[in-house]
Amino acid sequence: MITINTRVRPAVGPDATQMVRLLNQVIADGGTTAHETPYTVERMRADYIAPPNLISCHVAITNGRLSGFQLLKNDDRDGWAIIATFVALDRAKMGIGQKLFSATRFAAKAAGVQTIDATIRADNIGGLKYYGGLGFADYDVFKDIPLKDGTPVDRIRKRFDL
């Protein structure tokens, strides 16, 4: 029997390489993630591991390999923070997202965050289900925000109140 062992800890500089690989696989898969262009290690460090408005960025390690990561950063709105989550394509539905959110929620509370915002593409069914399952509730929609190729897609805005 294969045991799945997932641990979650804060991301540090050297994690960038594996995070880029994971995110670029998700992008290349043509999925419905917020990003459309491949990432570089430098950009990963600047946007996810150490952005100026960082609260936390956690990585999940499943059987020794990076299987997901989740960012929480301060928003311009007072008391609000923004969340972003990525899980490896071959590690979906294994509870990795739940483990990441339990760490992120703890970080949010410690940092005094009141509300977490998740803004998701309307065609990202997995993402909508994931946040909905965690208790995020719809509060707004950005209508017809075009993708790089011009296709209009709504963005569903969900909130989680701590």
Partner 1 sequence: MKQPRAWQRMLSGRRLDLLDPTPMDIEVEDIAHGLAFVARWNGQTIGDYAYSVAEHSLLVTDIFSAQNPNAPIKWQLAALLHDAPEYVIGDMISPVKAAVGPSYGELDDRLTAAIHIRFGLPAQIPVAVKKQIKAADKISAWLEAVQIAGFSAVEADKFFGKIDPNLAKSLHIRLRPPVDVRNDFTLKHHELMAKL
Report the interface residues with partner 1, using CB under 8 A.
Answer: 7-14, 49-50, 52, 54-57, 61, 103, 106-107, 110-112
Q: Would you say 96 or 156 has its CB closer to partner 1?
A: 96
Token look-up 């999925």 returns 31
| Identity of the residue, 12 or 28, whose beta carbon is nearer to partner 1 in the bound complex | 12
Residue closer to partner 1 by CB (options 11, 96) is 11
* Closest distance of CB 31 from partner 1, Å: 27
Which residues fall within 8 angstroms of residue 132, CB to CB, at 6 or more apart? 158
Residue 10 beta carbon to partner 1: minimum distance, rounded to whole angstroms: 3
Residue 147's CB is within 10 A of a number of other CB atoms, namely 12
Instruction: Give the single-character DSSP code of 51.
Output: -
Q: Which residue has the tokens 């997202």?
A: 97
Q: Which of 118, 22, 106 is nearest to 61 (CA)?
A: 22
Q: How far is the CB of 25 from partner 1 (least distance, A)?
A: 22
CB of residue 85 to partner 1, shortest distance in Å: 16
The CA distance from 151 to 3, in Å, is 42
Minimum separation from the CB atom of position 138 to partner 1 (A):
28
Question: Which of 6/25 has CB closer to partner 1?
Answer: 6
Give the Cα separation of 136 and 155 in Å (integer): 15
* Closer CB to partner 1, 10 or 38, in the complex: 10
The first and second tokens of residue 56, run together, are: 């936390």
